[in-house]
Amino acid sequence: MKKIAWMGLLFVMTIGLIFTLMGQSGSYSDFKDVEKSQGNVFQAGTWEDPKVIAFSFQGLTPAVIGVVNEGAHTVALTVPFGTNVTDLVPTIVITGASVNPLSGVANNFTTPQTYTVTSVIATTQDYIVTVTIAAPSTVATVTSGTYTVSAGGTATETITDVPFETAKATFLAALTKGETHQTWVDTGIADTVVTDNTLVVTAQDGTTVVTYTVTVNAAPVVLNSIAITTPATKLIYTVGDSLDLTGLVVTGTYSDSSTKVETITGANVTGFDSSAPVVDQVLTITVDGKTTTYTVDVVAVPVTLQSIAITTPATKLVYTVGDSLDLTGLVVTGTYSDSSTKVETITGANVTGFDSSAPVVDQVLTITVDGKTTTYTVDVVN
């Protein structure tokens, strides 16, 4: 009788302890905190229902998330080819009190492993965790945002639109692996890259191989030289003149042996200076870095006659009918563009309007020197 009483007391104390741990709400929160220190990860659920909610390998890149089949109580995970499954560390989320083996503890998954979840009332549920290693990748393709890469699905593909004189490092940097574990053999790529270079790509499986043949764009057509094929019409300038390229023809010769008449403006010419007289001034014509030259002369501005004036009148201003023109005493002075003056030589050839055949008053005689004129009058009497 005493034995039965003691057993009843022990049962009551045990139930009391459980409810104390669970708290007034009937949850397992306090118990859960104790178990967290043992490496388990919990998710809210009924306290008497032991389950695996999630099972993953967070240490792999990318993380591998397991598929939990609650009906079959299994977990299936597929890890990348080459993963060492003898030392994988799982992260486990459960509802219950604990899981064994613990979350965060490495395990050997060469064969299926049993994980046991225990509830707070000591009920258990086993889960069989199976890890499968994925088959090796057969992807042996590359892509590029810079070049044109064929995708015919054959063992021989092409990479085209590669700029002329592309460095090997630049070329390879512009290609992207179709799968990170593939290997490249780039010994067939020259530095700099040329047409018919080859890049051999081997997939992770070691047997799928694609050979890419490279086509480099043709060398750009560039200007090799320029030459004056027709000289400028104006080669002698006067001080103060502007550059005149009328008649000038400059022909460019290109890297493909073609020629073209270049457009030449004042912006292409250097060395012109008409501020002072000079002989053989060199003018340089530049087109796309190529040059040719020609020479010009700059001469002083010519001094030209601006006007003439009678500074001393002729002695004879009254003529008799039949007399000849008499310029004795006449002084005509010319004024020039440089403000200088000079007494001009005047002959009968410079004078028009004289007629002594009949009497006349104020007959106008015009004196002309280099297109400039002045006048004076004479009388003719009987």
Tens digit of each residue's pLDDT (9 = 90 or more) over 144-183: 999 999 999 999 999 999 999 999 999 999 999 999 999 9
**What's the whole-model pTM score?**
0.52
Q: Where are the domains of the chain?
A: 2-133, 142-216, 223-299, 305-381
What is the distance between the alpha carbons of residues 148 and 161, in angstroms, rounded to a whole number? 6
C-alpha closest to that of 99 among 121, 77, 119, 71 = 119
Could you tell me the sign of the dihedral formed by the alpha carbons of 27, 30, 35, 37, in that order? positive
C-alpha closest to that of 22 among 33, 6, 9 = 33
Tens digit of each residue's pLDDT (9 = 90 or more) over 212-237: 999 999 999 999 999 999 999 999 99
Is 2-133 assigned to CATH 2.40.50.140? no
What is the distance between the alpha carbons of residues 378 and 13, in angstroms, rounded to a whole number? 162
For the chain, 382 residues long, give each residue's pLDDT as a single digit of tens.
333 333 433 333 333 333 333 333 333 333 333 344 344 454 444 556 899 999 999 999 999 999 999 999 999 999 999 999 999 999 999 999 999 999 999 999 999 999 999 999 999 999 999 999 999 999 999 999 999 999 999 999 999 999 999 999 999 999 999 999 999 999 999 999 999 999 999 999 999 999 999 999 999 999 999 999 999 999 999 999 999 999 999 999 999 999 999 999 999 999 999 999 999 999 999 999 999 999 999 999 889 999 999 999 999 999 999 999 999 999 999 999 999 999 999 999 999 999 999 999 999 999 999 999 999 999 999 9
Matching fold, domains 223-299 and 305-381:
yes
Is 223-299 assigned to CATH 2.60.40.3630? yes
Which one-letter amino acid corresponds to residue 196?
D
Query: Where does 305-381 sit in CATH, by number?
Result: 2.60.40.3630
Question: What does the CA dihedral 71, 72, 73, 77 come to, rounded to 10 degrees?
Answer: -110
